[in-house]
């Protein structure tokens, strides 16, 4: 996610901000910028791409001052271009803002400001905030920020400076992390302790709706409703490596744990309660075409392909539109049958996968409408699609995809509801799905709390050479994904199958040395899955079952049972995939594998 650092003190702000930005690099970013105040004037330098490019520019520009703010951006609104890089300014360039998070009502505010004569220089949601603060500014910066924030819907961690108040930084938080770091005759604000740790270990965690006014030797923290709050200064004991990974041993584990938040971010501002549907701004360009589509083809690779398979089940179930799911590498060469009434959905976390990009090119030559579902804003696939939906999952650093997968499934569900409500899906059904969807993040949190018991199971089986993963219905794609996760990071051979297919071949593999992960949630095929487990046990296979809480039948049959909360069938993949991600992770840790950078794999596969 984006990173923020602000500094006020006696030292050269530029140097401190630049080194802070470098400490935030691990979070992933596409552009960066620094603004400082000197002689009642704000100077700013920005750059797209690596921080080394910003550093190069700064060598040619002095950027003096003892106060400033800086930002690493991971694009959400607007492509990674210089004009969209933070800090953003008001029209008079007296106020500069660095922002993390998403302003949900930015479009509404932007139109209102436009009517008042404000002209925008970027495509970002953040610029709205700079102009709003300016509209309220009457000499007191914190009052202006407070008034502006009252109009904001969404999430923010912000740092604001104003050249007319050159001795203070105002910062505030709602939903995005922000800490204040207290030094000797100097103060810092940052989205992440990593940015300030080399200067001080004394920090204050800001809570939602809190705002700080920082001066060189003092600070005041109040709520955005102007009520004073007393905060404790804490001493951090972590080292820099632990902090970058949020205290987790690996990025993959951190990202698995981020899923309650990343799924929430993928839903944020996209649910239309009134009409029990979803609002997907990126589809407006072809909203009319969506009414007429006769067939959907989903194309993707790897984990994104598994998400696509779940998308197929969801769209056919909810919207009743026929869907095909194609490996992009096959689709591109097999002269697929497409026409103007076909919607091709290309799913890609990185947005740069060569095969998926080539599949889009093929579909374009056949006049299909292309929808991109990507995490990386401004990526090649998002640019080459006619419209699309971003995941807003935040950067994924671990090569094995985890949080991007559950965000892809979130977005596909929202799409299925959108298409369904345009057709025959009843308001009642859509409403009940949306209601249950909102409980998913807390149900995932409950599963994550049990991770130590998954670790024990993982340790028992980490020396095996083969695994089978079985599931039916919505749980079949999850079985494929569980097997892929294990293969990727532990180098154990693993296969996913629809459970009933077992008797058509894989059953020959089963003996006492074969662990079989069976997803056995209480759904419409529950009894069938029980019979499959019986078949495995009759051949001495070892069963690790994923079942719903309270299921005693499974406990009697399986060697190990992982319990997860109950949800509706269509949402099962969100919950069943979490223990499978963790099983793969703990097995790979036990085997001493390189978790975040498994051998022979790349995060973005840009070659055929
Ligand atoms: C997932 O864990 C893998 N690293 C891989 O299968 C990946 O999903 C695939 O390469 C597609 O990548 P994309 O989503 O960036 O297009």
Count Cβ neighbours within 10 Å for each residue of 130-154 and write b for 16 or more, e otherwise: bbbbbbbbeeebbebbbbbbebbeb
The β-bridge partners of 369 are 343
Whether the per-residue pLDDT at 215 is higher than 70: the answer is yes
Which of the listed residues 303, 307, 481 should we mutate to test ligand 1's pocket, taking the one with most ligand atoms within 8 A of CB? 303
Judgement on whether residues 197 and 263 belong to the same structural domain of the protein: no
Residue closest by Cα to atom 9 of ligand 1: 302
Query: Measuring CA to CA, which residue among 240, 182, 263 is closest to residue 25?
Result: 240
**Domain holding 353: CATH number?**
3.40.50.10490
Q: Which residues line ligand 1 (CB under 6 A)?
A: 301-304, 348-350, 353, 356, 399-401, 488, 601, 604-605
Mean pLDDT of 330-359: 92
Judgement on whether residues 160 and 283 belong to the same structural domain of the protein: no
Whether the per-residue pLDDT at 604 is higher than 80: the answer is no
**Domain holding 213: CATH number?**
3.60.20.10
Dist. CA 518 → ligand 1 center (Å): 24
Give the residue from 412, 438, 464 where a domain finishes. 438
Dist. CA 215 → ligand 1 center (Å): 46
Q: What is the pLDDT of residues 448-498, one digit of tens each?
A: 999 999 999 999 999 999 999 999 999 999 999 999 999 999 999 999 999
pLDDT-derived band at 25 (thresholds 50, 70, 90) equals: confident
Give me the sign of the Cα torsion angle 536, 537, 538, 541.
positive
Q: Which atom of ligand 1 is nearest to the CA of 484?
A: 2
Judgement on whether residues 570 and 501 belong to the same structural domain of the protein: yes
Task: Reply yes or no on whether 301 is catalytic.
Answer: no
Q: Which residues contact 239 (CB under 8 A, 6 or more apart)?
A: none
Judgement on whether residues 396 and 518 belong to the same structural domain of the protein: no
Per-residue pLDDT at 78: 86
Per-residue pLDDT at 608: 62
Query: Measuring CA to CA, which residue among 517, 526, 321, 537 is closest to residue 419?
Result: 321
Helix axes 440-448, 572-590, angle to 10 degrees: 30
Helices marked H in 28-78 — which ranges?
51-60
Judgement on whether residues 306 and 268 belong to the same structural domain of the protein: yes
Which of the listed residues 304, 390, 597 should we mutate to test ligand 1's pocket, taking the one with most ligand atoms within 8 A of CB? 304
Q: What is the pLDDT of residues 427-454, one digit of tens each?
A: 999 999 999 999 999 999 999 999 999 9
Judgement on whether residues 206 and 175 belong to the same structural domain of the protein: yes
Dist. CA 396 → ligand 1 center (Å): 11
Judgement on whether residues 269 and 359 belong to the same structural domain of the protein: yes
Coil, helix or strand at residue 3: strand
- The number of residues making up the chain comes to 608
Whether the per-residue pLDDT at 245 is higher than 90: the answer is no
**Dist CA 267 CA 373 (whole Å):** 14
CB 470 within 8 A of CB 517: yes
Q: Is residue 443 part of a domain?
A: no
Q: Which of 2, 44, 163, 593 is catalytic?
A: 2
Query: Measuring CA to CA, which residue among 382, 554, 581 is closest to residue 485?
Result: 581
Give the residue from 438, 473, 495 where a domain finishes. 438
Tokens of residue 267, six digits = 């839903």
Gap between the terminal Cα atoms of the chain? 29
Q: What is the pLDDT of residues 143-176, one digit of tens each?
A: 999 999 999 999 899 999 999 999 999 999 998 8
**Dist CA 114 CA 108 (whole Å):** 10
Mean pLDDT of 264-284: 93
Whether the per-residue pLDDT at 243 is higher than 90: the answer is no
Whether the per-residue pLDDT at 99 is higher than 90: the answer is yes
Whether the per-residue pLDDT at 72 is higher than 80: the answer is yes
Give the residue from 227, 242, 257 where a domain finishes. 242
Judgement on whether residues 208 and 326 belong to the same structural domain of the protein: no
**Dist CA 96 CA 436 (whole Å):** 41
Judgement on whether residues 508 and 534 belong to the same structural domain of the protein: yes
Domain range spanning residue 485?
448-608
Dist. CA 302 → ligand 1 center (Å): 5
Q: Which atom of ligand 1 is nearest to the CA of 408?
A: 14
Distance of alpha carbon 182 from the chain centroid: 30
Task: Reply yes or no on whether 603 is catalytic.
Answer: yes
DSSP 421-485: HHTT--HHHHHHHHHHHTTHHHHHHHHHTTHHHHHHHHHHHTT-SEEEEEE-TTHHHHHHHHHHH
Whether the per-residue pLDDT at 45 is higher than 80: the answer is yes
Residue closest by Cα to atom 5 of ligand 1: 302
């749980």: which residue's tokens?
Answer: 475
Number of structural domains, the chain?
Answer: 3
Per-residue pLDDT at 75: 86
Which of the listed residues 299, 401, 491, 584 should we mutate to test ligand 1's pocket, taking the one with most ligand atoms within 8 A of CB? 401
Judgement on whether residues 304 and 223 belong to the same structural domain of the protein: no
Q: Which of 57, 201, 364, 603 is catalytic?
A: 603
């Amino acid at each position: 996610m984006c990173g923020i650092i602000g500094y006020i003190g006696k030292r050269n702000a530029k140097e401190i901000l630049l080194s802070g930005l470098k400490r935030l690099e691990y979070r992933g970013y596409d552009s960066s910028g620094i603004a400082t105040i000197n002689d009642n004037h704000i100077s700013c330098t920005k750059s797209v791409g690596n921080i080394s490019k910003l550093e190069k520019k700064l060598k040619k520009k002095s950027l003096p001052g003892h106060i400033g703010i800086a930002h690493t951006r991971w694009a959400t609104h607007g492509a990674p271009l210089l004009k969209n890089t933070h800090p953003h300014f008001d029209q008079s360039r007296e106020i500069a803002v660095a922002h993390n998070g998403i302003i949900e009502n930015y479009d509404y505010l932007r139109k209102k400001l436009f009517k008042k004569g404000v002209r925008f220089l970027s495509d970002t949601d953040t610029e709205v905030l700079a102009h709003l603060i300016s509209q309220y500014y009457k000499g007191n910066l914190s009052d202006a920020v407070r008034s502006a924030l009252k109009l904001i819907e969404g999430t923010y961690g912000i740092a604001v400076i104003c050249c007319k108040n050159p001795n203070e930084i105002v910062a505030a938080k709602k939903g995005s992390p922000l800490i204040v770091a207290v030094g000797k005759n100097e103060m810092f604000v940052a989205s992440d302790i990593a940015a300030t740790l080399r200067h001080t270990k004394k920090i204050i965690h800001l809570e939602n709706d809190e705002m700080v006014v920082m001066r060189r030797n003092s600070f005041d923290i109040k709520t955005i409703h102007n009520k004073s709050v007393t905060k404790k200064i804490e001493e951090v004991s972590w080292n820099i490596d632990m902090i970058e990974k949020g205290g987790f041993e690996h990025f993959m584990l951190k990202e698995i744990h981020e899923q309650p938040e990343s799924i929430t971010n993928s839903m944020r501002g996209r649910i239309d309660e009134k009409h029990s549907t979803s609002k997907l701004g990126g589809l407006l360009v072809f909203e009319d075409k969506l009414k007429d589509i006769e067939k959907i083809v989903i194309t993707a690779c790897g984990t994104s392909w598994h998400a696509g398979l779940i998308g197929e089940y969801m769209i056919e179930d909810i919207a009743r539109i026929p869907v095909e799911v194609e490996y992009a590498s096959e689709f591109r060469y097999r002269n697929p049958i497409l026409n103007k009434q076909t919607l091709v959905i290309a799913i890609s976390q990185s947005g740069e996968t060569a095969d998926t990009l080539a599949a889009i090119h093929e579909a374009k030559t056949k006049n299909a409408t292309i929808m991109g579902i990507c995490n990386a804003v401004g990526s090649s696939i998002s640019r080459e699609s006619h419209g699309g939906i971003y995941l807003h999952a935040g950067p994924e650093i671990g090569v094995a995809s985890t949080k991007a997968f559950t965000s892809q499934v979130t977005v596909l569900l929202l799409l299925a509801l959108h298409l369904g409500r345009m057709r025959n899906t009843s308001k009642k059904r859509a409403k009940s799905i949306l209601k249950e969807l909102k409980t998913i993040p807390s149900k995932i949190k409950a599963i994550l709390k049990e991770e130590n018991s998954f670790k024990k199971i993982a340790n028992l089986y980490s020396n095996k050479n083969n695994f089978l993963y079985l599931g039916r219905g919505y749980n079949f794609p999850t079985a494929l994904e569980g097997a892929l996760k294990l293969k990727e990071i532990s180098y154990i051979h693993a296969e996913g199958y629809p459970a009933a297919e077992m008797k058509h071949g894989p059953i020959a593999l089963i003996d006492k040395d074969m662990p079989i992960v069976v997803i056995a949630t209480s759904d419409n095929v529950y009894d069938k899955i029980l019979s499959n487990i019986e078949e495995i046990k009759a051949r001495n296979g070892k069963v690790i079952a994923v079942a719903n809480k309270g299921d005693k039948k499974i406990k009697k049959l399986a060697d190990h049972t992982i319990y997860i909360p109950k949800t509706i069938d269509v949402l099962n993949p969100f919950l069943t995939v979490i223990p499978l991600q963790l099983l793969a992770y703990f097995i790979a840790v036990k085997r001493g594998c390189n978790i975040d950078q498994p051998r022979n794999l790349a995060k973005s596969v840009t070659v055929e």
